[in-house]
Amino acid sequence: MRNRIIAIAALAGLCVPLAAQAQSAVTTGMASDSVVVTEVGEGIALDQRPAFREYIVRERVPDYSIQQRVTVGTVLPETGVIMYDVPQSFGATTNRYTVVNGETVLVEPRTRRVIQVIE
């Protein structure tokens, strides 16, 4: 009986890593020494990023300067930074984009928090 319980516990322990891999989240950056995870679909997909960068250049989006370094989790100032709608061709999203300190970023408009730095 005891061996059966140990065997079941061992099998359950093997299944946990597989379940963790099935989660729909990706790591998109670092903020304050902790990993920030955003849900898939919240940002610009990896294969869409080159086209999105070209779009930003074509649109001549102004580059805003702020004192701090721009990373995922940075909260942008309430004044002085204009955010723009992400075109539907790059995925349906309620987030906005802008260029700050030379970095194109996706921003959650309600909190003004950077959710993705497009590299």
Q: Quick check: 26 pLDDT over 50?
A: no
- pLDDT tens profile 67-90: 999 999 999 998 889 999 999 988
pLDDT score of 21: 38
Joined tokens for residue 94: 């309620």
Positive or negative torsion for Cα 56, 60, 62, 67: positive
SS3 115: strand
pTM over 0.85: no
Is residue 8, in this structure, part of any structural domain at all? no
Is residue 7, in this structure, part of any structural domain at all? no
| pLDDT tier for residue 119 given thresholds of 50, 70 and 90 | confident
- Residue 56: partners with Cβ closer than 8 Å, 6 or more residues away: 97, 99, 104
Strand-strand pairing, 113-118 and 34-39:
unpaired
Is residue 40, in this structure, part of any structural domain at all? yes
CATH number of the structural domain spanning residue 105: 3.10.450
* Count of the separate structural domains present in the chain: 1
Helix (H) or strand (E) holding 98: strand 96-100
Tell me the residue range of the domain where 54 lies.
25-118
